[in-house]
Amino acid sequence: MNGIGGTAVQQSELSGRVALVTGAGQGIGEAVTRALVAQGARVAALDWTPDGVKRLEAEFGRDTVTAHTADVADSAAVEAVVDEVERTVGPLAILVNVAGVLRPSPVVDITDEVWERTFAVNSTGVFNASRAAARRMTGRGSGCIVTVGSNAAGVPRTSMAAYAASKAAATMFTKCLGLELGRSGVRCNVVSPGSTDTAMQRDLWTDEQSPLRVIEGDPASYRVGIPLGRIAEPSDVADAVTFLVSDRARHITMHDLYVDGGATLRA
């Protein structure tokens, strides 16, 4: 298996480490869970609905993946899951915040419920899980937290104000956390995907030409295309996550790694 820059990666790179992945039931969260397992980690897979994480548990077995159900917006529920993981699986070494919601709408039409729920999951959920993990990791002097954000956090998008703002909040929160925890040995980073072939992405498509429009861009909505000419697969994002939680990234913290095929034209 190849890692970043073609470096050979041992399958057991994360052997013996316990990871918690939120939003693990599908899409990027599922891909991250599979990637961490492939590197030898034991994964606590968390989602607010049970079906996806239970399928992962059944596929890999409880010695490798344990299924947990909670709403990341509920701080008490998240704390209870982290307690259970530490008690029954082992000390938490890795947290990957993936859980997220997207409900597109022009700002003038956003309801209070949509705004509040978007921030509750995308921002407060990151806070809840990160705080619970950080409290335990700092005492042990090691650990990695990665938040899966979005390139929408760094560039305006029409009809995505709530989503983009919530992801921007989660991104800056994670960087501030990394600054606070640096001397404790805990690293905190962000992976910011662009358009990725997930159920969330497909929900935005209106016809069979929608993927092509994503790749080519849409001048009417001031959106550039994807220079690499392809929509990401969840595994592309998962590979970036597994790099950042590995020892190969031991001197990287407070970093925001864009995985968007160049779509935001970042310098």
Question: Is 163 one of the annotated active-site residues of the chain?
Answer: yes
Q: How far apart are CA 99 and CA 46, in angstroms?
A: 9
Contact in structure between 195 and 236 (CB atoms under 8 Å): no
DSSP secondary structure letter of residue 231: P
Task: Name the token pair of 129.
Answer: 């899980």
Please measure the distance between the N-terminal and C-terminal CA atoms of the chain and give it in whole angstroms.
Answer: 30
User: Of 48, 163, 243, 258, which is the active-site residue?
Assistant: 163
For 232-249, give the DSSP string.
BPHHHHHHHHHHHHSGGG
Residues in the chain, total: 267
Q: How far apart are CA 112 and CA 197, in angstroms?
A: 29
Query: What residues are labeled active site?
Result: 163
